């Protein structure tokens, strides 16, 4: 729980204030039984008060204000109202202080976890299901806030009650105290012992719930495939199996909780009877008065009633402990390495791969092996090759999502280990095969990468990406809502918006990662034409990753990858002349096109 204390440390004075208010609230609420007992004692010690013969002569002032031998109604009423008001006021401020603490704590621990998660290496996200990180962050906030509320509002109140009643009981007679203390410690010991089993179950519940969140997110994200292949029932059964697994654990936890509550309730009931027996004996011996007996009986309810909640408090502690352990494991993961004194790379003018190799953790062979190339501003280079040749890995190395295990990558002759990749990424325009657009307007999607872009810059980016036809079709032009509840876009239109978004950054490095592979041949030619026109302007370094060779014929240099190695390099014409792998891929794709277009 050290991590919980660390996050609560900035609010220590607020916690002290809330605990002080909780103490005031509890102490003043405990005055009521003592006052009630005092009323009873006053009546019992003045038996003539009930004498019918003396009842009528007694006047109203005597009833309200009292006499020399007894206090009046206003006195006791004032005490009861006064203590109740102080208690309620303290409770109101206590609840406010606790709410401030929990809200600030929850926001801080969630944002810190999110910030740390965003700084983790890309491989961490590849190795886990979507939704798992969010589940961890949400669970630690909810469980910790629940425990903080229970500790301050219930557990601390019980402690204050125990101290108050202990002082009151000792003042009356020492024999009362051992009964209270022994009972309290016995209940606490048994509760802690039984709750350890709940802790183990709760850890499993947290783990399974996190996995279920990942599975559910995965299924919903791929709902198109699930529905298209008629796999809805299969997915429901799979998710239900996980749900019922969690249900089984929850039922085990409920069974343990009910057992704990039964044992607690039985012990509390037995203890109350033991206290009653002790107090009756002390009354018999004229050691305590009937009023004090009544007060102590009330105090028994004040202490032992809330003590039945200790089981729930310990359960909330166990839940928070399990969630905090998961959170701690997340926070201990190493973030993406950054140099302590990063160099400034300035605008990207050139980049170079020098003997770069990379191997995935679970792979037997290197994804890239001894890759070397260089490119300068204004040039366009392309990488092609069959599936599994290392194209995607190379892109991730380019943008710093992966780091070379051997060799080095240089930007403007500066080693990638010596500068902050965030500075580099701010200069990159990226268009992928799987275009991700956000619900909102076309303008909002474009401004995502450059919120400060002017209307003129937006217009230029849209023109360069050939979005004119799309804007003419859109009812409100650039302010048209796209996505859910808005304008439905074709694959080609999505790619054009993605290209416009990439250009809006005025990138010094523009990457097209198989940007046309999911399009039909006609749309592919249109997008390829747009890419060519952008490349011809030679305003940036352009890197093309492609499977279809027709999209990269215009590149200054084409690198052919096979099994992670560059086996051929040259222009389209020179590679055709070599009649190697590139030539074989070209003939295959040209043959496919002739089959699709017999008249060509």
Domain harbouring 443, CATH code: 3.40.50.300
Q: In this model, does residue 80 exceed pLDDT 90? A: no
Distance (Å, whole) CA 391 – CA 368? 9
Domain membership of residue 513 (yes or no) is no
pLDDT the model gives residue 596: 47
| C-beta of residue 103 within 8 angstroms of C-beta of residue 14 | no
Single out the residue in 300, 315, 331 at which a domain terminates: 331
Instruction: Please report which residue ranges of 332-454 form alpha helices under DSSP H.
Output: 391-398, 421-425, 442-447
Domain membership of residue 542 (yes or no) is no
pLDDT band at 128 (very low <50, low <70, confident <90, very high): low
Buried residues in 187-202 as b, exposed as e (16+ CB within 10 A): beeebeebbebbeebb
Q: What share of the chain is helix, strand, coil (3-state, %, to 5)?
A: 65, 10, 25
Greatest mean pLDDT range, 286-295, 429-438, 445-454: 445-454
Question: Same structural domain for residues 440 and 312?
Answer: no
Domain membership of residue 401 (yes or no) is no
CA-based angle 137:140:146, to the nearest 5? 140
> By residue range, what is the domain housing residue 453?
434-506
Q: What is the DSSP letter of 478?
A: G
Structural tokens at position 553: 């014929």
CA quadruple 544, 548, 553, 556: dihedral positive or negative? positive
Q: What is the pLDDT of residues 447-489, one digit of tens each?
A: 888 888 888 888 888 888 888 777 777 777 778 887 654 457 7
pLDDT the model gives residue 529: 81
Distance (Å, whole) CA 545 – CA 549? 10
pLDDT band at 417 (very low <50, low <70, confident <90, very high): confident
pLDDT the model gives residue 356: 92
Helix axes 176-221 and 310-331, enclosed angle (nearest 10): 50
Q: In this model, does residue 301 exceed pLDDT 80? A: no
Q: What is the pLDDT of residues 540-586, one digit of tens each?
A: 898 998 877 888 888 899 999 988 899 999 999 899 888 888 888 88
Question: Same structural domain for residues 29 and 165?
Answer: yes
Q: In this model, does residue 59 exceed pLDDT 70? A: no
Question: Same structural domain for residues 165 and 311?
Answer: yes
Domain membership of residue 527 (yes or no) is no
| C-beta of residue 69 within 8 angstroms of C-beta of residue 41 | no
Domain membership of residue 516 (yes or no) is no
Residues paired with residue 559 on neighbouring β-strands, in sequence order: 383, 569
User: For the ranges 126-135, 157-166, 505-514, which has the lowest average pLDDT?
Assistant: 126-135
Overall average pLDDT of the 244-261 stretch: 72
φ, ψ (nearest 5 deg) of residue 258: -65, -40
Q: What is the DSSP letter of 389?
A: S
pLDDT the model gives residue 154: 85
Single out the residue in 481, 506, 531 at which a domain terminates: 506
| C-beta of residue 269 within 8 angstroms of C-beta of residue 187 | no
Q: What is the pLDDT of residues 5-47, one digit of tens each?
A: 899 999 999 999 999 999 999 889 888 888 877 777 766 665 5
* 48: Cβ contacts below 8 Å, ≥ 6 apart: 54
Single out the residue in 331, 355, 373 at which a domain terminates: 331
* 157: Cβ contacts below 8 Å, ≥ 6 apart: 22, 25, 26, 306
pLDDT band at 101 (very low <50, low <70, confident <90, very high): very high
pLDDT band at 408 (very low <50, low <70, confident <90, very high): very high
Structural tokens at position 419: 């500068």
Residue 591, Cβ neighbours under 10 Å: how many? Answer: 10
Distance (Å, whole) CA 303 – CA 22? 15
User: For the ranges 74-83, 417-426, 446-455, which has the lowest average pLDDT?
Assistant: 74-83
Q: Please state the domain count of the chain.
A: 2
User: For the ranges 49-58, 325-334, 376-385, 390-399, which has the lowest average pLDDT?
Assistant: 49-58
- Mean pLDDT score of the chain: 79
Question: Same structural domain for residues 327 and 442?
Answer: no
Q: Cβ-count burial of 388 within 10 angstroms (0-12 exposed, 13-18 middle, 19+ buried)?
A: middle
Domain membership of residue 100 (yes or no) is yes
Q: Which residue has the tokens 């004040």?
A: 302
Q: In this model, does residue 594 exceed pLDDT 50? A: no
Question: Same structural domain for residues 122 and 8?
Answer: yes
Distance (Å, whole) CA 445 – CA 431? 14
Instruction: Please report which residue ranges of 451-538 form alpha helices under DSSP H.
Output: 455-464, 468-473, 491-503, 521-536
Question: Same structural domain for residues 145 and 257?
Answer: yes
Q: What is the pLDDT of residues 254-272, one digit of tens each?
A: 777 677 677 777 777 787 7
> Parallel, antiparallel, or unpaired for β 541-546 and 440-441?
unpaired
Residues paired with residue 419 on neighbouring β-strands, in sequence order: 343
Distance (Å, whole) CA 168 – CA 165? 5
Q: In this model, does residue 55 exceed pLDDT 50? A: no
Give the CATH number of the domain where residue 157 resides. Answer: 1.20.1560.10
Q: In this model, does residue 68 exceed pLDDT 60? A: no
CA quadruple 236, 238, 239, 243: dihedral positive or negative? positive
Domain membership of residue 576 (yes or no) is no
Domain membership of residue 227 (yes or no) is yes
pLDDT the model gives residue 383: 92
Regarding pTM above 0.85, the answer is no
pLDDT the model gives residue 210: 64
Buried residues in 126-155 as b, exposed as e (16+ CB within 10 A): eeebebbbbbbbbbbbebbbbbbbbbbbbb
Q: What is the DSSP letter of 477?
A: G
Among candidates 37, 42, 160, 27, which has minimal Cα distance to 83?
27
φ, ψ (nearest 5 deg) of residue 515: -70, -15
Residue 371 DSSP SS3: strand
Question: Same structural domain for residues 55 and 181?
Answer: yes
Q: What is the pLDDT of residues 165-184, one digit of tens each?
A: 778 777 777 777 777 777 77
Q: What is the pLDDT of residues 205-244, one digit of tens each?
A: 666 666 666 666 666 666 656 665 566 777 777 777 777 7
Q: Where are the beta strands (DSSP E) in 336-472?
A: 350-358, 368-376, 380-384, 406-411, 414-415, 428-432, 440-441
Question: Same structural domain for residues 59 and 202?
Answer: yes
Q: What is the DSSP string of 228-278?
A: HTT-HHHHHHHHHHHHHHHHHHHHHHHHHHHHHHHHHHHHHHHHHHHHHHH
């Amino acid at each position: 729980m050290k991590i919980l204390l660390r996050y609560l440390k900035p609010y220590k004075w607020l916690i002290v204030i809330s605990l002080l208010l909780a103490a005031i609230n509890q102490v003043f609420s405990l005055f009521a039984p003592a006052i009630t007992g005092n009323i009873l004692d006053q009546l019992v010690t003045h038996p003539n008060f009930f004498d019918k013969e003396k009842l009528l002569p007694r006047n109203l002032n005597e009833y309200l204000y009292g006499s020399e031998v007894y206090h009046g109604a206003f006195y006791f009423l004032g005490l009861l109202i006064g203590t109740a008001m102080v208690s309620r006021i303290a409770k109101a401020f206590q609840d406010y202080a606790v709410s401030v603490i929990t809200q600030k704590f929850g926001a801080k621990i969630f944002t810190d976890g999110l910030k740390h998660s965003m700084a983790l290496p890309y491989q961490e996200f590849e190795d886990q299901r979507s939704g798992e990180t969010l589940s961890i962050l949400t669970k630690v906030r909810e469980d910790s806030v629940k425990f903080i509320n229970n500790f301050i509002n219930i557990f601390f109140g019980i402690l204050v009650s125990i101290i108050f009643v202990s002082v009151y009981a000792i003042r009356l007679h020492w024999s009362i105290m051992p009964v209270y203390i022994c009972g309290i410690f016995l209940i606490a010991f048994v509760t802690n012992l039984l709750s350890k089993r709940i802790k183990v179950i709760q850890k499993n519940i947290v783990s399974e719930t996190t996995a279920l969140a990942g599975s559910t997110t995965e299924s919903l994200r791929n709902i198109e495939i699930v529905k298209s292949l008629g796999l809805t029932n299969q997915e429901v059964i799979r998710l239900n199996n996980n749900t019922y697994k969690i249900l089984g654990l929850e039922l085990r936890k409920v069974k343990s909780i009910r057992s704990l509550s039964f044992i607690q309730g039985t012990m509390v009931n037995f203890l109350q009877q033991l206290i009653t027996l002790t107090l009756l004996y002390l009354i018999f011996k004229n050691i305590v008065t009937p009023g004090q007996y009544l007060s102590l009986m009330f105090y028994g309810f004040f202490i032992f009633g809330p003590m039945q909640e200790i089981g729930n408090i310990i359960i909330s502690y166990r839940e928070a402990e399990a969630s905090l352990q998961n959170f701690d494991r997340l926070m201990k993961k190493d973030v993406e390495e950054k140099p302590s004194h990063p160099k400034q790379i300035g605008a990207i003018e050139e980049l170079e791969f020098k003997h770069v190799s990379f191997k995935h953790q679970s792979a037997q062979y290197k994804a890239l092996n001894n890759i070397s190339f260089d490119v300068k501003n204004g040039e366009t280079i392309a990488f092609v090759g069959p599936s599994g040749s290392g194209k995607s890995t190379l892109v991730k190395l380019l943008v710093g999502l992966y780091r070379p295990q051997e060799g080095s990558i240089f930007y403007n002759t500066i080693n990638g280990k010596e500068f902050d990749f965030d500075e580099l990424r701010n200069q990159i325009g990226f268009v992928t095969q799987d275009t991700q657009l956000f619900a909102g307007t076309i303008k909002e999607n474009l401004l995502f990468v450059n919120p400060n872009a002017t209307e003129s810059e937006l217009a230029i980016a849209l023109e360069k990406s050939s979005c004119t036809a799309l804007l003419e079709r859109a009812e409100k032009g650039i302010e048209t809502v796209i996505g859910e509840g808005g304008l439905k876009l074709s694959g080609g239109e999505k790619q054009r918006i993605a290209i416009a978004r990439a250009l809006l950054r005025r990138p010094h490095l523009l990457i097209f990662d198989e940007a046309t592979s999911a399009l039909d041949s006609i749309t592919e030619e249109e997008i390829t034409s747009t890419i060519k026109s952008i490349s011809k302007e030679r305003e940036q370094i352009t890197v093309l990753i492609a499977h279809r060779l027709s999209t990269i014929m215009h590149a200054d240099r084409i690198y052919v990858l096979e099994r992670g190695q560059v086996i051929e390099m040259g222009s389209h014409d020179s590679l055709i002349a070599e009649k190697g792998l590139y030539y074989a891929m070209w003939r295959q794709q040209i043959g496919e096109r002739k089959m699709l277009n017999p008249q060509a």
